[in-house]
Amino acid sequence: MTKYSYLIMLTISTFSCQSHQKFDKIQWAKEGDLKTFPNRKYMVDDLVENYNLKGKKFRFLVDLLGKPQSELDSNMEIVYDIDIDYGSDIDPIYSKDLYIEFDKDTIVKDYSVREWKK
């Protein structure tokens, strides 16, 4: 293998590893520009697949994920921003969010990742 082939393989493997990461509470909370969270899109899959969120209390979720981007509303739902793309405009053209629904005792009843495109 040539020096350049090795470099290309290393670059490809580095970028491919960025698509999924294990959930990390500190990295999840890191804020980027425009109140975005650049690490969440890489770890949301691990969060929903490997953390049993159903049955957890509201307080547990806030301790784990931090303050949500929306308050607990009349629908007993909160939202965590995962990914937002503004394109070249000030209005978003894409968003991905984690919706968490609670029962009357503020215990997680259901959750889902939802995407929106303009």
Return the SS3 of 14. Answer: helix
Q: Are 108 and 53 in contact (CB under 8 A)?
A: yes
Q: Look up residue 36 and give its amino acid.
A: T
pLDDT tens, N- to C-terminus, the chain (118 residues): 555 444 444 444 444 445 789 999 999 999 998 889 999 999 999 999 999 999 999 999 999 999 999 998 899 999 999 999 988 888 899 999 999 999 999 999 999 999 999 9
pTM given for the model:
0.81
CATH architecture of 21-117: 2-Layer Sandwich (3.30)
The residue type found at 117 is K
Bridge partners of 38, per DSSP, are: none
Burial of 60 (0-12, 13-18, 19+ CB in 10 A): middle
> Domain segments of the chain: what residues?
21-117
